[in-house]
Amino acid sequence: MEKQVIGHQHQTIGLIENNIKMMLDDAQDISSYIMNNETFQNLLNQPKPEEYNRAQQTMLSYLSNLKTAKSYISFIIVYGENGFVFRDFKDFYREVVPYQQLNESPTYIATAAKEGEANWMFSSDPLFPYLQQYNEVMVGRRITNIYDSEEKLGMLFMGIGREAFLASIQDVELSDSTQLLLVDDNYNLVASNQKNRDVDYYRESDLEFKKRLIHPGDNPVIRVNGQDFYISTAKVEPYEWMVVSLTPLKEIREQHQVLLKFTLIASVSVMLIVALLSIFLSRNVTSPIRKLLRSMNDFKRGDFNQKVAVESKDEVGLLTQKYNQMVAELNELIQKVYISQTNQKMIELKTLQAQIEPHFLYNTLDYIFLNSKINGDDETAEVVRSLSQLFRISLNRGSDYYSMENEINQIKAYVNIQQARFPSRFKVEYEIDPKVEPYLTSKLLLQPIVENAIIHSFDHKEKGEGVLRISGGLSEDGIVFVVEDNGKGMTEEQVAALLQVSPNGSGGYGIKNVNERLTMLFGEEYRLRIASKIGKGTTVTIRLPIIHNEEEWVSLYENHGH
Query: Secondary structure of 55-121 in the HEC alphabet?
Result: HHHHHHHHHHHHHHHCCCEEEEEEEECCCCEEEEECCCCCCCCCHHHHCCCHHHHHHHHCCCCCEEE
Structure-model confidence comparison of residues 309 and 106, the more confident one: 106
Helix (H, G, I), strand (E, B) or coil at 372: helix
Query: Does 109 or 310 have the greater pLDDT score?
Result: 109
Q: Give the distance, in angstroms, between the CA of residue 214 and the centroid of all CA atoms in the same chain.
A: 31
Q: Note whether 52 and 84 are within 8 A (CB).
A: no
Q: Which of 288-292, 444-448, 522-526 has the lowest mean pLDDT?
A: 288-292
Nearest residue to 547 via CA among 400, 341, 384: 400
Higher pLDDT, 208 or 548: 548
Share above pLDDT 90 across residues of the chain, in percent, rounded to a whole number = 15
Contact 120, 87 (CB under 8 A): no
DSSP label at residue 140: E
User: What span, in angstroms and rounded, lies between the C-alpha atoms of 174 and 10?
Assistant: 11
Is it the case that residue 539 has pLDDT exceeding 90?
yes
Instruction: Identify the CATH number of the domain defined by range 1-164.
Output: 3.30.450.20
Q: DSSP 3-state assignment of 308? A: coil
Does this model's pTM top 0.85?
Answer: no
In whole angstroms, what separates CA 151 from the centre of its chain?
Answer: 33
Round to whole Å and give the CA distance between 208 and 229. Answer: 17
R_g (Cα) of the chain, nearest Å: 38
Domain boundaries, the chain: 1-164, 304-355, 424-560
The hierarchical CATH code for the domain 424-560 is: 3.30.565.10
The two domains 1-164 and 424-560 share their CATH topology (first three levels equal): no
The stretch 151-171 carries a mean pLDDT of 86
Sorted by sequence, the CB contacts under 8 Å of residue 193 that are 6+ apart come out as 166, 169, 170, 172, 178, 179, 180
| 15: enclosing H helix or E strand | helix 2-36
What SS3 class is residue 268? Answer: helix
Confidence bin at 247 (pLDDT 50/70/90): confident
Give the type of residue at 407. Answer: E
Q: Omega of the bond prior to 238 within 30 degrees of 0, cis?
A: yes
Digit-coded pLDDT (tens) for 16-59 = 888 889 989 999 999 999 888 888 888 888 888 878 888 888 88
Cα separation of the two ends of the chain: 48
Query: Among residues 521, 508, 534, which one has the least CA distance to residue 448?
Result: 508
- Give the model confidence (pLDDT) of 383-432 as tens digits: 777 777 666 666 656 577 888 998 898 888 888 888 888 888 889 999 99
Percentage of the chain modeled with pLDDT above 70: 83
pLDDT band at 365 (very low <50, low <70, confident <90, very high): low
> Over the chain, what is the mean pLDDT?
80
507, pLDDT greater than 70: no
Q: Give the three-class secondary structure for 226.
A: coil
